[in-house]
Amino acid sequence: MARRSPREMRATVPGGHSEGAVSTLLVGACPGAPACAAVHTYLFVDGLDVVARSDSRMVGLDPRRLLRPGGPLYPTDMPCEVEVAAREQPEPGPEKLTFRIRLRGGTVIWSDLMYPGPDGRLVEEVRFRLEQYLGEVERAYAVLREPS
């Protein structure tokens, strides 16, 4: 039997996240007090909370910081490392959650991820259609700016 590369095997896993698959982003924000100590961002990829699944001790950074026009979640042609979450309480281990964001044509790519997908397999990279991605970031920022 011919041996297949890990990349080829990942791309053909039934029910798995194939290399060319397109994900959906949904952004939410916690309003802060009294629900939480501070305002923070939720990043849902295909319905999964990326921050909580990556490290349950982390909380998303302030949405005004992440979602502002031209802010860290806006992709560029050059890959950039983006901090999306930090630990609230001092504990051993990483103090922040980062991943890389880049734009390739009409696709936004998040890489250097490490969270379990719905099937338990490790998700290392996700891709979004540029229109859906930017539309969701802009929608979430507009909601944040609306008077309560």
pLDDT at 74: 95
Average pLDDT over residues 12-36: 68
Q: Could you tell me the pLDDT band of residue 94, with boundaries at 50, 70 and 90?
A: low
pLDDT at 88: 74
Average pLDDT over residues 64-68: 92
Average pLDDT over residues 77-100: 85
User: Could you give the CA distance from residue 31 to residue 33 in angstroms, rounded to a whole number?
Assistant: 7
Residue-averaged pLDDT of the chain: 83
Its pTM stands at 0.79
pLDDT at 14: 34
CB pairs under 8 A, 24+ apart, for 27-31? 27/63, 27/67, 27/136, 27/137, 27/139, 27/140, 28/140, 29/63, 29/140, 29/143, 29/144, 30/60
Higher pLDDT, 30 or 89: 30
